[in-house]
Amino acid sequence: MKQIRESVIAGMWYPGQKNVLKNVLEGLLDRAPDNRIENIRALISPHAGYAYSGGVAAAGYKQLKGKDYKKIIILAPSHQHPFNGISAGDYTHYRTPLGDVPVSTETRSLIKESSIFSNTPQAHFKEHSLEIQLPFLQVVLDDFSIIPLVFGLIGLDEARKVADLITGCMDDKTLLVVSTDLSHYHGYDEAIKLDKDCITSILLLDSENTFKRELCGKYPVLAALESAKKMNWTPKLLEYKNSGDVTGDKTQGVVGYASIAFTGEIK
C-alpha cells in the first residue's frame, strides 16, 4: 500500500502549480553554465527556496540532463526535529506537483539494518531540505527512485560507517545528492570568507576541518566526504553565490549556497 509523503513546501519554497514549476525549473537550467563534466557520482546542492538558491542548484542539476541514473541516495539535514542518528522514514513515495517519486524500499530496508539508523519517521514530516531537491531531479531524470535519509546528530566515526553503507550501494546508475546551505546571516564580506574556507575544506576532502565549519548540512556532507575518500572521487566547485548576490541586497545578513560535483569511477 502506498504511503505518500505530501509536499509541505509547494506554493511557498517553489511554485505549487505543475506547469509553473516546470517552467521555473527549465528557466533556471537554461541559464546555468554549460561546462559539462562526466562520471558524476555525487552532488552537493543547496536547499533554500528556488528564488534564492535555485540558480546555484541548477548549475549542478544541469550536469545530470541526459544521464541514466536510476537510484538517488539523498542525504539531508533535519531542521524541524532534533534527534540522534539518521532516519530513512517509512514512506513509499514523495509527492511534488510534478508527480510521485518512488522510494527504493528494498535498498532502504538493507540500509536500515545498521545500528546508526533511528526509528524517527517524524524527521521527514516537515523537512524541506530533502523535498527541495526532488523537482529538479524530476525534470532532469526519468524513471528513478530515491533513498531519502534525514540526518540528526552524528559524529565522524558514524559518518564513516554511513560511507561504508553508501559506497556499498553505489553503481553506475546510482547518484548521491547531498543537501546543504553554507553560512547563515553574516555580513556579506564575512560570509564570503566563511564560505570560502568551508568550500576549500570540502574540495580537500578534509572531514575534520569541514566538521568545524558553518554549514547546516554538516553531517550529510561529512558522510559524502568519507564516501568520496573511500571511492577516490574528485570534487569540483560548479557554482557559489550567496543570497546577497541573488537579491542584490548586500546590507543584510546573507546565506551561502554552493553546487559541488564529485567525479570518478565506481570501484
Count of domains for the chain: 1
Angle, CA of 136, 256 and 232, to the nearest 5° = 70
pLDDT of residue 227: 98
Q: Is the dihedral of CA 196, 160, 216, 102 positive or negative?
A: positive
**CATH code of 173's domain:** 3.40.830.10
Counting residues of the chain whose pLDDT is more than 90, the rounded percentage is 93
pLDDT at 111 over 90: no
Q: Is the dihedral of CA 129, 246, 191, 45 positive or negative?
A: positive
Give CA 122 to chain center in angstroms: 19
Residue 26: band (very low, low, confident or very high) from pLDDT cuts 50, 70, 90: very high
How much is the CA Rg of the chain, to the nearest whole Å? 17
Q: Do residues 239 and 28 make contact, with C-beta atoms less than 8 angstroms apart? A: no
DSSP string for 221-240: HHHHHHHHHHHT-EEEEEEE
> 81-102 burial, b for 16+ CB within 10 Å, e for fewer?
bebebbbbbebebbbbbbeebe
Q: Is the dihedral of CA 204, 210, 216, 221 positive or negative?
A: positive
Q: Is the model more confident about 196 or about 107?
A: 196
Give CA 239 to chain center in angstroms: 14
* Residue 231: domain span: 4-263
CB atoms within 10 A of CB 129: 26
Helices vs. strands in the chain: H and E counts, helices first: 10, 11
Beta-carbon contacts of residue 78 (< 8 Å; ≥ 6 apart)? 87, 123, 127, 150, 151, 152
195 burial type by CB count under 10 A (0-12 exposed, 13-18 middle, 19+ buried):
buried
pTM of the model: 0.97
DSSP string for 8-74: SSBTTTB-SSHHHHHHHHHHHHHHS-----S-EEEEEE--S-HHHHHHHHHHHHGGGTT----EEEE
pLDDT tens-digit map of 43-97: 999 999 999 999 999 999 999 999 999 999 999 999 999 999 999 999 999 999 9
End-to-end CA distance of the chain: 36
